[in-house]
Amino acid sequence: MSITKEILSVILGGGAGSRLYPLTASRSKPAVPIAGKYRLVDIPISNCMNSGINRMFVLTQFNSASLNRHIKNTYHFSAFSSAFVDILAAEQTPDNPTWYQGTADAVRQSLRHIAPFDSEYVLILSGDQLYQMDFQDMLDNHKKSGADISIATIPVGDRDAPEFGILKEENGLISSFIEKPKKELLVDWVSDTGPEMQAKGRNYLASMGIYIFNRELLFDYLQNDYLEATDFGKEIIPQSIGKCKVASYQYDGYWTDIGNIHSFFEANLGLTDEIPEFNLFDNNRSIYTRARMLPPAKVSGTTLDRTVIAEGSIINAARMEKCVVGIRSRVGHGSTVTNTYIMGSDYYETLSDIAADQSNGIPLLGIGNNCFIQNAILDKNCRIGDNVTINGGHHLENTDQPLYTIKDGIIVIKKGAILPNGFAIGSEG
């Protein structure tokens, strides 16, 4: 049987995403733009497609309109193919009036839609992680080990281990599990992660929240054995260890959980490195997204250093360093932008729009002239006037204002915010 037929993928659309606020104020986590032209949900979908898995369900609930629209506009397959990316939105029914209560409950409530599609295995993924994985290899390992459940694991060191669910692995099978262990307990949770990982001090196996279930077992667990369980990581997985055969699939590549503003910021700016850990320039691991009919980017008089620029942008800045510039971005003359992610705009302003803005004293879409911006995230459709200073850094305290939020020294300008000429945030450095 081909992998297309033997496995289905279920991608979890995530909860409220409060730690990524304000980027999640009007959109779900998987719909947050990354790398200037993609959405987070494009990552698991692309990983599936690159692995030969072409039947996917995306479970959505919070702020799902933009995510639904993106998937509808992006993933179209041949009429002669069985491939699909279908949205399963949370729904109230006569026998279940509640919304999704957790990862396991979301899959449980969706089983009636998944059941008509034949498969031997179900792959369960998060919609808000950045990585490139071959799920074919994970499935081969699952079958070879004769497992009922496989968990993708990643080696971590002493510093990161207390932030994860840590698994103890022996001979490829998981023997025990502990959720976010205290540092003094770690000595009992060392696994054989291999010489390369051990040399880096990465001696513990953390769960990545990526699972393969034998289909029959998954349905039985959710509909019978664990009828009250709402979460895979906190309930079903720990309780399965010792009850059935749970295998570890160790992944040694780049992976990050986009859980908060800092990790999101670092993951995006990491794409500007000379050889980024997450490789967008890989012939065999393409990241798919909505095809937009945009002109190439245009740069005039700008010094660029380690900057990624998406299509449709017009850049007249004096200097840009370590920046990710999203689609349809505009940066005015004399501006300096460093360590910043500009998400771009959803549309261009027409000449009449520009004239109306100027007559009303409203800044144009994008970044104006003679601005200084660093350590910032500019959400979509921002209007930054001339001579604006946005100076992020650890000298700033966390705060939430109508136009911006500061978290961990990173200034996040909110979607659609209008910053007038001369506006300053964090001008003392």
C-alpha to C-alpha distance for 428 and 420, rounded to whole angstroms: 19
DSSP letters, 152-167, are EEEEE-TTTGGGSEEE
**3-state secondary structure (DSSP) of residue 29:** helix
**What was the pLDDT predicted at 106?**
87
Which pLDDT band, with edges at 50, 70 and 90, does 327 fall under? very high
pLDDT for residue 372 is more than 90: yes
**3-state secondary structure (DSSP) of residue 285:** coil
Average pLDDT over residues 202-225: 94
Which pLDDT band, with edges at 50, 70 and 90, does 429 fall under? very low
C-alpha to C-alpha distance for 151 and 149, rounded to whole angstroms: 7
Which pLDDT band, with edges at 50, 70 and 90, does 170 fall under? confident
C-alpha to C-alpha distance for 420 and 363, rounded to whole angstroms: 7
Choose which CATH entry (3.40.1280.10, 2.30.30.140, 3.90.550.10, 3.30.1330.60) describes domain 3-272. Answer: 3.90.550.10
Closest Cα to residue 411, out of 420, 421, 395, 422?
395
C-alpha to C-alpha distance for 119 and 106, rounded to whole angstroms: 19
Phi-psi region of 426 (alpha: psi -120 to 50; beta: other; left: phi over 0): left
pLDDT for residue 95 is more than 70: no
User: What is the share, in percent, of the chain residues with pLDDT greater than 70?
Assistant: 95
Which pLDDT band, with edges at 50, 70 and 90, does 315 fall under? very high
pLDDT for residue 100 is more than 80: no
Closest Cα to residue 381, out of 334, 426, 415?
415
Choose which CATH entry (3.40.50.10680, 3.40.50.970, 2.160.10.10, 3.40.630.10) describes domain 298-425. Answer: 2.160.10.10
What is the Cα Rg of the chain in Å?
Answer: 23
**What was the pLDDT predicted at 78?**
86
**What was the pLDDT predicted at 371?**
98
Alpha helices in 115-223 (DSSP H): 135-145, 195-199, 215-220
Which pLDDT band, with edges at 50, 70 and 90, does 97 fall under? low
Alpha helices in 360-419 (DSSP H): none
Helix (H) or strand (E) holding 269: helix 261-269
* Segment 16-45, tens digit of pLDDT: 678 899 998 988 888 999 999 999 999 999
C-alpha to C-alpha distance for 13 and 218, rounded to whole angstroms: 19
What's the token pair of residue 428? 């003392």
Residues 6+ apart with CB under 8 A from 248: 150, 151, 153, 167, 169, 172, 173, 174, 205
Write the burial class of residue 49 (CB in 10 Å: 0-12 exposed, 13-18 middle, 19+ buried).
Answer: buried
* Segment 134-149, tens digit of pLDDT: 999 999 999 999 999 9
User: What is the share, in percent, of the chain residues with pLDDT greater than 90?
Assistant: 66
**What was the pLDDT predicted at 348?**
95
C-alpha to C-alpha distance for 255 and 208, rounded to whole angstroms: 8
- Where exactly does CATH 3.90.550.10 map onto the chain? 3-272
pLDDT for residue 422 is more than 70: yes
Average pLDDT over residues 338-360: 95
**What was the pLDDT predicted at 93?**
63
Residues 6+ apart with CB under 8 A from 380: 33, 326, 343, 344, 345, 346, 415, 416
* Segment 40-64, tens digit of pLDDT: 999 999 999 999 999 999 988 777 7
C-alpha to C-alpha distance for 76 and 363, rounded to whole angstroms: 38
CA 44, distance to chain mean position in Å, is 9
Residues 6+ apart with CB under 8 A from 298: 313, 314, 315
Give the highest mean pLDDT range of 66-80, 115-129, 327-341. 327-341
Which pLDDT band, with edges at 50, 70 and 90, does 80 fall under? confident
C-alpha to C-alpha distance for 423 and 383, rounded to whole angstroms: 12
- Where exactly does CATH 2.160.10.10 map onto the chain? 298-425
**What was the pLDDT predicted at 3?**
64
**What was the pLDDT predicted at 92?**
61
User: Measuring CA to CA, how many Å separate 24 from each of 88, 272, 290?
Assistant: 20, 24, 20
What's the token pair of residue 312? 């449709």
Strand order in the sheet with 314-315: 298-299, 314-315, 330-331, 366-367, 383-384, 418-419
C-alpha to C-alpha distance for 154 and 191, rounded to whole angstroms: 11
Do 252 and 183 touch, CB atoms closer than 8 A? no
349-386 as b/e, with b when 16 or more CB fall inside 10 Å? beeeeeeeeeeeeebbbbbbbbbbbbbbbbbbbbbbbb
Which pLDDT band, with edges at 50, 70 and 90, does 94 fall under? low
pLDDT for residue 376 is more than 50: yes
CA–CA–CA angle 335, 337, 340 (5° rounding): 150
CA–CA–CA angle 183, 188, 192 (5° rounding): 110
pLDDT for residue 414 is more than 90: yes
C-alpha to C-alpha distance for 31 and 62, rounded to whole angstroms: 11
**What was the pLDDT predicted at 60?**
83
**What was the pLDDT predicted at 242?**
84
* Segment 245-294, tens digit of pLDDT: 999 999 989 999 887 999 999 999 999 999 999 988 888 889 999 989 99
Alpha helices in 60-206 (DSSP H): 65-74, 103-114, 135-145, 195-199
pLDDT for residue 99 is more than 70: no
Residues 6+ apart with CB under 8 A from 286: 46, 50
C-alpha to C-alpha distance for 167 and 273, rounded to whole angstroms: 32
Which pLDDT band, with edges at 50, 70 and 90, does 332 fall under? very high
For all residues of the chain together, what is the average pLDDT?
Answer: 91
